[in-house]
Each structure stands twice: as structure tokens, then as C-alpha cells.
Homo-oligomer: A and B are copies of this chain.
Amino acid sequence: MNIEIMTINQFKAGSRVDGFFLIKSVECKSSSNNKKYLDFTLADRTGEINAKLWNVTEEDEAYSANRLVKVRGMVTEWQNALQFKIEKIREVMDEDGVNITDFVPVAPYTSEDMYNDVLEYINKINSEEIKKLVNYILEEYKETLMYYPAAKSNHHSVRGGLLYHITTMLKAGERLCEVYTFLNKDLLYSGIILHDISKMEEMASSELGIVSEYTIEGQLLGHIVMGVKKIETVAEKLNINPEIKMLLEHMVLSHHYEPDYGSPKKPMIPEAEMLHRLDDMDAKMYDMKKALEDVEPGSMSDRVWSLEKRVIYKAREF
């Protein structure tokens, strides 16, 4: 029998398959006759399928969600649904030449490019003290920033999503400073770069940019207050001007605007107000664009939770 390389949307009952897949979830279960088996959800860009591995070895139990595996097996049918019976499975190795980004949603630019964009904006900051502070913190998070999403399931929840969110805001912020010329760019740029920086400690993300859970400190304090603490600590260490420290802390603290969304203070400087608006606007534009991706002109999208449950309309050509 022939072993085909196929994507999940090509699976048919009876096919024998070889391929690379992402483990979305895996659980060790027992069958009615008390035999252990691993119950997987495997995924590629084209879809997901339930898969089972029988004859589980101890090493097999180490498989965990959000890892890439190479798998061989048979597609079967059970109660009208396709199922995959795994015969061979192993973790992906470097030699396999498999690209993570074929398995998870990613930002439309490479993390390296976006990171360099951020550095360029830092160079546009005039205040040496602000530049020093932002650079210090950015350096500290550089590695994780390469893959962190901006959220667990809302806007920008893709690999590199946090960087994507930051760079888009920087671009929009720069342009609005041309219109509202009284805004201080140093504050706005640094506020944009730092506003969500502690999300990387509030949420636990795999290198795939998938958040599995919130950390304990994330739940007890939240990324906003954690961000304020971070600025406080670094500013003390670098001996930053207290006015700057206070303003940046205020910007991070107030960037969600509403107390119910985590900001105990509302923006009290224009740059904090603009930071909040850029943050919110970028999230909503992202969600609207995404909502309309698969919608026909003249039709409504599904209800979008993050847009206050609205449906979004894709206009007809005119």
C-alpha cells in the first residue's frame, strides 16, 4: 500500500498517510478494556483531526501540546467522522526542515524586521534617558518578544503578534503626531513600546506563539501593574528622572482607560490618551479585517465577540 504525503483536508477513510503535524492537545486515556492510549488532536494549516496512539510507551507520554511531530498511520472512519490511527510518531528534528510557521498563524512580517522597526523608532526618541530606559527593557525581553502573541485568544493572537501590534501602533502614532503636533513623540513612542511588555510575564506562551494559560502573578496582579513595577525597578536602577518615570508609569497604568478593563486611572496627559486610542484602534481594526476575511460582498460576518458581539458587513462593489 502506498503512503501518501497529504494535508488533513485531503484525508479520506482508508488512506495511509505520512506527514508533519502540530499537536493541538494530547491526553492519556484508558479504553473500556483498561488499555492506555494517547488521544491527540493533530493539526496543520488545512484543518484538525482526532488521532489515537495505542501501545503507549513511557516516552510517548511525554508528548505535549504545541509541539511538532512526524507521524505515519491510517485514516479510519468512526461514527461519521474521520479518525487517524497512529502507527509511528516522533518529535520533529532540525533535519526535517519543517517550518513552524506552516502550522501556526503568524504575523505578516518577520519578527526580525518588526524588531528592527521598533529599534528605528527608539532612535527617533530625543530624550537620552527615555531611550536608555526603553532600550534596557527591550533588551531584557528581546528573545521572547520574537514569538509572543499579544493575547491569548483576542486580537493579534498569532506568533509575533505582540511585535506586530507594537509596530503598527508606532506607524499610526507617528502619522497622528503630524496632525496633532502638540503631542510629545518621545512619550508616545516609549509608551507604545512598553504598554504591553509585561504581557510576556502575565501569559505563558510556547515558542509557537500559543498561550496556554495565565501565570499566577499574571492573575493576581495583571500585566498593567506588572508593567508599572518593571518601569519602577529599571528606572531606579538606571537613575531615571522621576518625572519621566512617573509619566511612563502613568501611561502604562492608564492605557486600558476603563477601570473595568484594568486601568485604575484614566489618561491624564494627551500622550496617554493617544496611547489608549492607538491600542484600542489597532485591536479593533485587526478584528474587523479578520472578521471580513472569508465573507462574501453583500453579506454579514459571524458575530464577533471582541467587537461587542457585532456582525460586520462586507460592502458590495459600487
What's the minimum C-beta distance from A79 to chain B, rounded to whole angstroms? Answer: 9
Interface residue A236 (Cβ < 8 Å from any Cβ of B): yes
With A and B bound together, what is the CA distance between A289 and B308 in angstroms? 31
Say which residue of B176, B219, B224, B269 sits within 8 Å of A175 (CB atoms): B176
With A and B bound together, what is the CA distance between A249 and B315 in angstroms? 13
Chain B residues closer than 8 Å to A308, beta-carbon distance = 266
A219 & B315 in contact (Cβ 8 Å cutoff): no
Chain B residues closer than 8 Å to A187, beta-carbon distance = 315
Q: How many residues of A contact B (CB 8 A)?
A: 70
Beyond A233-B233, A313-B219, whether A175 also contacts B179 by CB under 8 A is yes
With A and B bound together, what is the CA distance between A17 and B221 in angstroms? 52
Interface residue A305 (Cβ < 8 Å from any Cβ of B): no
Say which residue of B220, B236, B241, B267 sits within 8 Å of A233 (CB atoms): B236
A315 & B247 in contact (Cβ 8 Å cutoff): yes
Say which residue of B182, B184, B222, B258 sits within 8 Å of A265 (CB atoms): B222
Which residues of chain A from 213 to 233 have a CB within 8 Å of any chain B CB? Answer: 216-217, 219-222, 224-225, 228-229, 232-233
Contact with B along A264-292 (1 / 0, CB 8 A): 11111110011001000100110011001
Beyond A175-B176, A176-B175, A229-B228, whether A288 also contacts B273 by CB under 8 A is yes
B265 & A216 in contact (Cβ 8 Å cutoff): no
B172 & A285 in contact (Cβ 8 Å cutoff): no
Interface residue A171 (Cβ < 8 Å from any Cβ of B): yes
| Residue contacts A-B, CB under 8 angstroms, 5 given | A175-B179, A221-B228, A225-B225, A225-B265, A273-B285
A interface residues with partner B (beta carbon < 8 Å): 13, 32, 77, 80, 127, 129, 168, 171-172, 175-176, 178-180, 182, 184, 187, 216-217, 219-222, 224-225, 228-229, 232-233, 236, 241, 243-244, 246-247, 249-250, 253, 258-260, 262-270, 273-274, 277, 281, 284-285, 288-289, 292, 298, 300, 308, 310-316, 318
